[in-house]
C-alpha cells in the first residue's frame, strides 16, 4: 500500500499538466503496476491533487447538562424500570411532580426545568453509560410439540389479528429451570392483549394440561375486558383437548402459530422478557414458597406495568429497498390511551 501511494505521489504532477491522451496512458501504466481498477486509480490521483482534507474542529454542544440533571434523570429512569428515551420523555411531566410531592426527588427549579426540557434522543445519549452491562441472557426453550389436535386448531399469523379490538390474547409459558431442565420446576403463564398491550401473569407448578387451563382461567378473570380469543405456539401444554374444551365452553376463539415461526407470537415473546425475565431473572424456582412469592409479585407487577409505565405501539412501517423505516405513536400509559 505504501508503494502504491508513492507511485500516485510521483505521478500526480504529470496527471495535473497532461493532456487527455497523456492522462489515459498514465492511468494505464498505474493500473498495470498497482493492479487497481481505472476508476480507483483516477480517484487516487484526484485525491492527491486536492490535498489532505481539512481538519474539522469537534462540535461543541450548545448546552451542557451538569451532573445534578443527569442524577435526576437516572432516578426517574430507574423508577420506570429503565425505558427508552421515547417512552420515558412523555412520562416525565407527570412523573417528576409526583416524585417531588412525595419527596422521592429533591432538585432545585432550574434542574427540573432542564430535566423536563430534554429530548428523547438526548435522554438516550445521557443514559447510555448507565445501560452498559444490562444485556439480557437467554433461557432455554420449553416448547414440546403437540401434534394430535393441530388440524382442529386453526393457524394464524401476525397479520391475521385485529390490533384495534381488545380481547385477543397471545399466551406462552416461561420456564424457571435456572439452566438445568432436569426435575420439576415452576412455569409462569404469560398473556398479553394484542390491541392494548395489557399483560397478566401467573406462576403454575407444572405445565400439565389441567394446571395450565386453571391458570388461564385466573388470567381471564384478571383482565379488565372480556377475553375473545387466545393464540399460542404449538406446545403440548396448549394443543390439547382440555384447553380446546375450555375455549369452547367460554366461546373463546383458539388459534395457533406456525411451527418454527416464533414471530407469529412476537407480542408475547417480547413480554416474556420485559414482564417476566426482567422481574425474576433466570433463576430456578421449584419450591412451594417460591411459587407463593411469585404469585404475590404478579398482581403488583400488573399494576405497575399496565397503569404506570408508558407504552408505545408501531404506527407505520415502510420499506424502501433494503431500508425499513418505523414510526411509533407517542408513549403513554394505558389509562392515558383510553
CA distance 294 to 206: 14
Q: What is the mean pLDDT of the chain?
A: 84
Please report whether residue 145 resides in a domain. Answer: no
Q: Are residues 155 and 117 in the same domain?
A: no
pLDDT tens per residue, range 227-269: 999 998 888 888 888 888 999 999 998 888 877 776 778 889 8
Q: Are residues 221 and 183 in the same domain?
A: yes
Please report whether residue 59 resides in a domain. Answer: no
Q: Are residues 154 and 6 in the same domain?
A: no
- Classify each residue of 64-93 as buried b or exposed e, where b means 16 or more C-beta atoms within 10 Å of its C-beta: ebeeebbebbebbbebbeebbbbbbbbbbe
Q: Are residues 161 and 213 in the same domain?
A: yes
Please report whether residue 186 resides in a domain. Answer: yes
Q: Are residues 315 and 194 in the same domain?
A: yes
pLDDT tens per residue, range 199-213: 999 999 999 989 999
3-state class (DSSP) for residue 84: coil
Residue 25 has pLDDT above 70, yes or no: yes
Please report whether residue 333 resides in a domain. Answer: no
Please report whether residue 43 resides in a domain. Answer: yes
pLDDT of residue 319: 87
Q: Are residues 104 and 163 in the same domain?
A: no
Q: Are residues 25 and 120 in the same domain?
A: no
Report how many domains make up the chain.
3
Which residue segment(s) compose the domain that 258 sits in? 150-328
Q: Are residues 23 and 159 in the same domain?
A: no
Q: Are residues 75 and 208 in the same domain?
A: no
Please report whether residue 335 resides in a domain. Answer: no
Q: Are residues 231 and 319 in the same domain?
A: yes
Q: Are residues 215 and 290 in the same domain?
A: yes
256 class by beta-carbon count within 10 Å (0-12 exposed, 13-18 middle, 19+ buried): buried
What mean pLDDT do residues 140-166 have? 57
Q: Are residues 123 and 196 in the same domain?
A: no
What global pTM score does this model have?
0.67
Please report whether residue 140 resides in a domain. Answer: no
3-state class (DSSP) for residue 36: coil
pLDDT tens per residue, range 269-313: 889 988 999 899 999 999 999 999 999 999 999 998 898 888 888
Please report whether residue 314 resides in a domain. Answer: yes
Amino acid at each position: 500500500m505504501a508503494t502504491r501511494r508513492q507511485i500516485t505521489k510521483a505521478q500526480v504532477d504529470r496527471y495535473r499538466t497532461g493532456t487527455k491522451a497523456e492522462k489515459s496512458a498514465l492511468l494505464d501504466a498505474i493500473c498495470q503496476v498497482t493492479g487497481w481498477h481505472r476508476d480507483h486509480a483516477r480517484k487516487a490521483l484526484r485525491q492527491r491533487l486536492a490535498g489532505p482534507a481539512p481538519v474539522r474542529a469537534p462540535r461543541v454542544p450548545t448546552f451542557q447538562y451538569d451532573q445534578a440533571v443527569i442524577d435526576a434523570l437516572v432516578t426517574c429512569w430507574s423508577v420506570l424500570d429503565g425505558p427508552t428515551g421515547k417512552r420515558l420523555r412523555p412520562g416525565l411531566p407527570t412523573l417528576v411532580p409526583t416524585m417531588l410531592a412525595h419527596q422521592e426527588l429533591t432538585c432545585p427549579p432550574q434542574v427540573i426545568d432542564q430535566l423536563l426540557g430534554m429530548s428523547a434522543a438526548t435522554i438516550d445519549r445521557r443514559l447510555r453509560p448507565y445501560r452498559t452491562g444490562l444485556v439480557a441472557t437467554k433461557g432455554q426453550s420449553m416448547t414440546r410439540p403437540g401434534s394430535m389436535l393441530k388440524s382442529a386448531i386453526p393457524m394464524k399469523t401476525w397479520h391475521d389479528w385485529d390490533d384495534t379490538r381488545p380481547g385477543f390474547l397471545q399466551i406462552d409459558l416461561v420456564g424457571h429451570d435456572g439452566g438445568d431442565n432436569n426435575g420439576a420446576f415452576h412455569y409462569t403463564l404469560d398473556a398479553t392483549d394484542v390491541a392494548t398491550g395489557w399483560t397478566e401473569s401467573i406462576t403454575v407448578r407444572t405445565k400439565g394440561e389441567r394446571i395450565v387451563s386453571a391458570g388461564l382461567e385466573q388470567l381471564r378473570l384478571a383482565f379488565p375486558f372480556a377475553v375473545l380469543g387466545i393464540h399460542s405456539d404449538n406446545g403440548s401444554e396448549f394443543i390439547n383437548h382440555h384447553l380446546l374444551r375450555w375455549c369452547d365452553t367460554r366461546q373463546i376463539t383458539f388459534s395457533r402459530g406456525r411451527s418454527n415461526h416464533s414471530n407469529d407470537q412476537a407480542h408475547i415473546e417480547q413480554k416474556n422478557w420485559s414482564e417476566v425475565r426482567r422481574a425474576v431473572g433466570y433463576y430456578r424456582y421449584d419450591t412451594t414458597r417460591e411459587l407463593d412469592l411469585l404469585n404475590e409479585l404478579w398482581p403488583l407487577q400488573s399494576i405497575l406495568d399496565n397503569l404506570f409505565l408508558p407504552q408505545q405501539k408501531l404506527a407505520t412501517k415502510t420499506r424502501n429497498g433494503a431500508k425499513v423505516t418505523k414510526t411509533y405513536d407517542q408513549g403513554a400509559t394505558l389509562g392515558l390511551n383510553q
